[in-house]
Amino acid sequence: MACGGSERRTSQVTAEFDLIESIRARAESRPDVILGIGDDAAVLQVPAGKLLVVATDTLNAGVHFPQETAAADIGWKSLAVNLSDLAAMGAKPAWCTLSLSLPLPQADRTWLDAFLDGFFALAGLHGVALVGGDTTRGPLSVCVTVHGFVDEGRVLRRDGARVGDDIWVSGTLGDAAGALAQWRKKTRIVPELKARLDRPTPRIALGLALAGIAHGCIDISDGLLADLGHVCERSGVAAEIDITDLPASDVLPTAFEEEAIRALQASGGDDYELCFTAPPDARVAIENLAGREGTSVTRVGRIVEGSGVRALLGDGCEWAPASGGYTHFA
């Protein structure tokens, strides 16, 4: 629905169709897409015997990314944060939809083409087909919905953690939050940190390999302590984290002091690494499968009885974070 005179309405509608057409022209299909972009809805073939897994996430300019973020990075990240949710469920991605709200400066082919460069670069890596969406005028906002498949009994859930489990994280923590901290301070942003903030890597292969082995799983979007807190709450257990064991990149210590690094790793968000729990007798299997997938994994704590997440220093004393992780509407 558009407002204004009929002449203006016509030109707006034409522009919308132009934009949709330039998206359609670049979208790759897959054999299980019966009907993709162009009809009133997409028609998709779910493989027999599989469960359909659906996740959606919105990125708003100025809330989820700085206004000046490059279009290609917004494209990559809008899909990455969604694929990360599928990874955390142990699901194999298949399809996605894209709802774009574009203000006038962005509602042109140049911005859209750059956005699609980033979006389709990641979609191509995972064989994800864009099958539909919506295109409207408004404040810059990108909403992606992803669909994937998982075998029954192999879903990685937040409520699966058990007392005695090890707690693991993939990759390294704190880089993305480090970039955000530098951006807020208006100091120079270290390029390696900025790359982690703008182009997170969804741990799809690791999530698939962990299905059937890990007990509880979540992706770290709001900070390790906050997200692990969700696992504990849903599982009815507590967690102890060895805060000095959290994996950091080589770059992070060149930019921040030890205590700042701890805070970024424990409470900073946007890492999109997996945090999962598994029984101690699965340690070797987990090291091996992570090696095969080319992703490092680190044991960072244990699931215990009770509630809440405690971060412990090497001497057993509790480490108190300055902030508990990102939360909207706080």
Residue 40 as a binder of ligand ADP (CB under 6 A): the answer is yes
- Count Cβ atoms within 10 A of the Cβ of residue 233 and give its class: 0-12 exposed, 13-18 middle, 19 or more buried: middle
In terms of DSSP bridges, do strands 308-312 and 238-242 run parallel, antiparallel, or are they unpaired? parallel
CB of 96 to ligand ADP, least distance (A): 9
Report 118-137 residues binding Mg ion (CB under 5 A).
Answer: 134
Distance CA 245, CA 199 (A): 25
Return the one option of Mg ion, ligand ADP, none that residue 37 interacts with (CB less than 5 to 8 A, by type). Answer: ligand ADP
Residue 21 as a binder of Mg ion (CB under 5 A): the answer is no
Task: Scan for tokens 């699609």, then name that residue.
Answer: 116
Residue 181 as a binder of ligand ADP (CB under 6 A): the answer is no
**Region of 131-139, 248-256, 289-297, 298-306 interacting with ligand ADP (CB under 6 A):** 131-139
Q: Which of 22, 28, 38, 187 binds ligand ADP (CB under 6 A)?
A: 38
Closer by beta carbon to Mg ion, 134 or else 245? 134
Q: Which of 20, 86, 204, 300 binds ligand ADP (CB under 6 A)?
A: 20
CA 321-221-278 angle, to 5 degrees, is 85
Closer by beta carbon to ligand ADP, 133 or else 229? 133
Three-state secondary-structure class, residue 37: strand
Residue 37 as a binder of ligand ADP (CB under 6 A): the answer is yes
**Region of 34-42, 74-82, 298-306, 308-316 interacting with ligand ADP (CB under 6 A):** 34-42
Cβ atoms 140, 61 nearer than 8 A: yes
Distance CA 302, CA 268 (A): 21
**Region of 31-39, 64-72, 74-82, 256-264 interacting with ligand ADP (CB under 6 A):** 31-39
* Alpha-carbon dihedral angle through residues 39, 41, 45, 48, given to the nearest 10 degrees: -160
Closer by beta carbon to ligand ADP, 80 or else 193? 80
Beta bridge pairs of residue 151: 50
CB of 228 to ligand ADP, least distance (A): 34
CB of 52 to Mg ion, least distance (A): 22
Three-state secondary-structure class, residue 95: strand
Return the one option of ligand ADP, Mg ion, none that residue 98 interacts with (CB less than 5 to 8 A, by type). Answer: ligand ADP
Q: Which of 23, 102, 217, 243 binds ligand ADP (CB under 6 A)?
A: 23
DSSP assignment string, 145-196: EEEEEEETT---BGGG--TT-EEEEES-SSHHHHHHHHHHTTSPPPHHHHHH
Residue 135 as a binder of ligand ADP (CB under 6 A): the answer is yes
CB of 221 to ligand ADP, least distance (A): 23
Report 127-186 residues binding Mg ion (CB under 5 A).
Answer: 134
Distance CA 291, CA 289 (A): 5
Q: Which of 44, 53, 71, 130 binds ligand ADP (CB under 6 A)?
A: 130
CA 53-37-87 angle, to 5 degrees, is 25
CB of 39 to ligand ADP, least distance (A): 5
Q: With the C-alpha atoms ordered 275, 91, 30, 58, is the resulting torsion angle positive or negative?
A: negative
Distance CA 92, CA 126 (A): 9
**Residue numbers at the binding site for Mg ion (CB under 5 A):** 134
**Residue numbers at the binding site for ligand ADP (CB under 6 A):** 20, 23, 37-40, 98, 100, 130, 132-135
